[in-house]
Chain A
Amino acid sequence: MYFCTDFKDTVICSKMQRKTLVRILSVLLFITSFSAVAQDEHTEEAKEILPEGKTKKEEIKEFINHHLMDSHDFNLFGSTDEETGKTHHYGFPLPVILWDGGLHTFMSSEFHHGENVVESNGNYYKLYHSKIYRTDAEGTINYDEKHHPTNVRPLDFSITKSVVMMLVVGLLLIWLFRSLAKSYAKNGSLPKGIGRFFEPVVLYIRDDIAIANIGENKYKKYMPFLLTVFFFIWFLNMFGLTPLGVNVTGNIAVTTALAIIVFLITTFTGTKDYWKHIFDPLGDGMPWIGKIFIYIILVPIEILGLFIKPFALLIRLYANMTAGHVVMMSLIGLIFIFKSWIGGPLSFGLAFAIMLIELLVALLQAYIFTMLAALYFGFASESHEHHEEHEGEIQHL
């Protein structure tokens, strides 16, 4: 097919165009008629009440919510027996460590996925929506008007799924980069094997993130943190895309901890000029009487900015990763919504495309986090010589 730009071909062309148009339309009609049938079926299907009194849509929603949360056991997959309606879980249990007027430790397999009440040193515990509550011997959970449990929650120091993944990634990073360091010592600063892949990444972080934002003189102090946080986030994001079903960087507690570390580093490495910028941004350029009126507004904003910067950092990573997981799970859920031949290919095609984007997002979010952390460190470590240089340039011009 070609586009008709010449007046001469208009007649032939319009015929051809009409033909192709008709063809395209008929194919589209064909597809939509099928999906319309499927739609009719699925609305009936979705309203069909499942044994536990939930509709299919609610069940999928619940499944997604469950995936997004941290859990006390490493569940790989499960299958429901059609006849008995019982669900079998495949995976391995993790240790539960509670502080509730004394230490309570047991394996999460004792919960039997929330069905059992566990007795430990005279206290009873029950798992409800992936959270542990203290109950009586029967395991009754009391609710308030909004259907939130009112039972006491013990302090939970358990090795959960997220903690396991963080430990795994931490050990992986230590092992990987130690062996790379050793191979450099042996080969005389030539990368070998997987080092050929990682060397440009490390150099990129040094040259284009650290030196570009912090400056030639002071970047070395921050390099260990920047490299660690970059690879930590990147690897965890990549693990989130595997069928292991982990969602560590999409957990707000994890990103909060990372942001708090960034905040502490910026605060404690802040130079005199950094703090002067916050509490006395105008410097000597104005008499103090004039400054008072401006600073009533300006200084609170600057102080607020100190906290907003890491807050934006934590929300960005958390929201991006959570959104990615929700989209992926919803697309896979389409199979169960459609329940026809169209669901599988549609779900596969969309999920495949989103997966490719997520691969990019996994790297991009790690990069953005490192980049912004470096930018904040750059603000914190700026010194006065810098300004004088610039002022000198301006005068020179």
Chain B
Amino acid sequence: MTIPTIVGAGLAVIGAGIGIGMIGGKAMEAIARQPEAYGKIQTAMLIAAALIEGIGFAAIFAG
């Protein structure tokens, strides 16, 4: 493991973290606006978060 790969993996994970944070925040806003759509929003949120998380893990393994 060299330093550039580690830094690169770290940056990718930061990106994934920000992405998941934004998804979570926006989902909260959406739920606050439309509490009756809670279930649908949650499902969509989890799928999007899972997809981004996959990228984060791929970066960790590449690094």
Contact = CB atoms under 8 A, between A and B. Distances in A.
A368 B54 CA distance: 11
A316 B50 contact: yes
A315 interface: yes
Nearest to A365: B50
Nearest to B40: A212
Contacts of B60: 319
A315 B54 contact: yes
A62 interface: no
Interface in A203-221: 208, 212
B57 A371 contact: no
B43 A319 contact: no
A312 B43 contact: no
A327 interface: no
Interface string B19-63: 000000000000000000001000100110011011001101100
Contacts, number: 31
Contact of A316 (B39, B43, B57): B57
A208 B39 contact: yes
A375 B43 CA distance: 11
A316 B46 contact: no
B61 A372 contact: no
A338 interface: no
A371 B54 contact: no
A312 B46 contact: no
Nearest to A316: B54
B47 A319 contact: no
Contacts of B46: 364, 367-368, 371
A368 B61 contact: no
Contacts of B47: 368, 371-372, 375
A63 to B, nearest CB: 21
B57 A319 contact: yes
B57 A368 contact: no
Interface string A307-333: 000001001100110000000000000
Interface size class of B (residues with CB under 8 A): 10 to 19
A372 B44 CA distance: 11
B58 A312 contact: yes
Contacts of B51: 312
Interface in A292-319: 312, 315-316, 319
A371 B53 CA distance: 15
Name the prevailing secondary structure of the A interface residues.
helix
Interface residues of A, number: 13
A319 B60 CA distance: 9
Interface string A121-160: 0000000000000000000000000000000000000000
A267 B54 CA distance: 22
A227 to B, nearest CB: 18
B27 to A, nearest CB: 15
A312 B57 CA distance: 9
A319 B39 CA distance: 27
Contacts of B58: 312, 315
A372 B54 CA distance: 12
A94 to B, nearest CB: 30
A199 to B, nearest CB: 18
Contact of B50 (A208, A212, A368): A368
Interface string A356-388: 000000001001100110010000000000000
Contacts of B50: 316, 368, 371-372
Contacts of B54: 312, 315-316
A371 B43 contact: yes
Contacts of B39: 208
A368 B46 CA distance: 7
Contacts of A368: 46-47, 50
Shortest 3 CB-CB contacts between residues of A and residues of B: A312-B54, A319-B57, A368-B50
21 contacts: A208-B39, A208-B43, A312-B51, A312-B54, A312-B58, A315-B54, A315-B57, A315-B58, A315-B61, A316-B50, A316-B57, A319-B57, A320-B53, A364-B46, A368-B46, A371-B46, A371-B47, A371-B50, A372-B47, A372-B50, A375-B47
Given A208-B43, A319-B60, 6 more contacts: A316-B54, A320-B53, A368-B46, A368-B50, A371-B50, A372-B47
